[in-house]
Amino acid sequence: MFFKARNKCDYDTFKGHLEVMNHDFSNIKEEMEDHLQSINENTNEIELQNNFICEIDNRMTKMEEKMDEIHFLLKQMVTKAQLSVELSKDEQRVFLILYTHEKFMRPEAVSTKALLEMEIVEEALTSMADKGIPIEREILDGNVYFRMNPEFKLRQAKEQIIKIDSEVTGQYQNTLLKQFFGN
C-alpha cells in the first residue's frame, strides 16, 4: 500500500508537470503564431512599399523623358532664333566630326577623329549644347552616344549658322586624307 501511494503521488506530480509543460507549450505556440502573423503583415507592408517605390520610379522616368523633350524643343527654338553661334577651335573640330557623320557616335570616337583629349570633347559637347546647337544624345547599354540633329544639319548647309575657321577645316580635311590613305 505504501508503494501504491507513492506511485499515485509520483503520478500526480508527473501529471502536474505535464500540464504545466502543455500550458507552456501552448503559450510558446501562441507567441510563435503571433510572431508569424506579424511577419506576414510586415511582408505585406514591405510589398506595398515596394510597389509604391516602383510607381514613383516609373513616374520619375516619365518626368525625365518629358524634361529631355522640353529641353530639346527649347534648344530648337533658341537655335532657330539665333542667326549665328561662335565656337572655339576645339568646339569647331567636334562640330565638324558630328556634322559629317550620320550615325550616333561615342565621345571616344569623336575624340579619336578630332585628335582631342576626351575631357576637351566632353566640354565641347556640353558647351555646344549650352549654346543651342541641337546635339542629340542617346544611351544604349550604359554608353552615351551623340549626333547632330539632321534638321539642323540641313539648316547649317543652307545658312552656314556656325562659322568654321578655314584652318580647322583644313586640319580636318588633312586628317580625313591621312585616314583614307592609312598614314
pLDDT 10s digits, 8-37: 667 778 778 888 888 888 888 898 898 888
Neighbours of 113 (CB within 10 A): 21
pTM above 0.85, yes or no: no
The class of domain 84-181 in CATH terms is mainly alpha
Residue 56: the pLDDT is 93
> What pLDDT, in 10s, does the model give residues 47-73?
989 999 999 999 999 999 899 888 888
Arithmetic mean of pLDDT, 91-110:
91
Domain spans, the chain: 1-81, 84-181
pLDDT at 177 over 70: no
Quickly state the pLDDT bin for 2 (edges 50, 70, 90).
very low
- Report d(CA 97, CA 107) in Å as an integer: 11
CB 136 within 8 A of CB 149: yes
